[in-house]
């Protein structure tokens, strides 16, 4: 296995890359959209919203949680998921700054 050379990039670049990779699947985008629409912690409803099996949904939730995009709280026998607002502010700030620079430099 080769090295990824992530140490050659800034911490911010690595952070954004991890978040972008975690969001790089349409099922994960659908999960995020559902959580944003619900505006509350969701337990078992996510599986009912997606055309995927429960283990597949669980794997996508795990990836989003590992990246810090969502949070999961244990409530009884269920894990309730919600958006991690801190992470969304990081993404918003990044894309806002990038868009501002592009707007200034665009032909």
Residue 6 confidence (pLDDT) above 80 = yes
> In terms of residue numbers, what domain contains 15?
7-105
First to last CA, the chain: 41
Does 16 or 107 have the greater pLDDT score?
16
Residue 99 confidence (pLDDT) above 80 = no
54-66 and 26-38 helices, crossing angle to 10°: 80
| Whole-number pLDDT of residue 87 | 96
Residue 44 confidence (pLDDT) above 80 = no
Locate tokens 């032909």: which residue?
A: 107
Average pLDDT for residues 47-67, to the nearest whole number?
Answer: 93
**52 CB contacts (<8 Å, ≥6 apart)?**
27, 60
Note if the pTM is more than 0.95.
Answer: no
Residue 1 lies in a domain: no
Residue 2 lies in a domain: no
Q: Quote the tokens at residue 88.
A: 């969304």
Residue 84 lies in a domain: yes
Average pLDDT for residues 29-54, to the nearest whole number?
Answer: 87
CATH number at residue 93: 1.10.10.10
Q: What three-state secondary structure class fits 50?
A: coil
Residue 12 lies in a domain: yes
- How many domains is the chain partitioned into structurally? 1
How far is residue 64's CA from residue 75's CA, in Å, rounded to a whole number?
Answer: 19
């Amino acid at each position: 296995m080769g090295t990824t050379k992530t140490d050659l990039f800034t911490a911010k670049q690595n952070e954004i890359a991890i978040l972008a990779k975690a969001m790089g699947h349409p099922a994960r985008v659908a999960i995020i959209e559902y959580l944003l629409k619900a505006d509350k912690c969701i337990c078992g409803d996510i599986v009912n919203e997606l055309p995927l099996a429960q283990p597949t949904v669980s794997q996508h939730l795990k990836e989003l949680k590992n990246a810090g995009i969502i949070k999961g709280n244990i409530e009884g026998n269920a894990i309730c998921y919600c958006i991690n607002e801190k992470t969304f502010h990081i993404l918003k700030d990044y894309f806002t700054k990038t868009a501002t620079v592009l707007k200034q430099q665009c032909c």
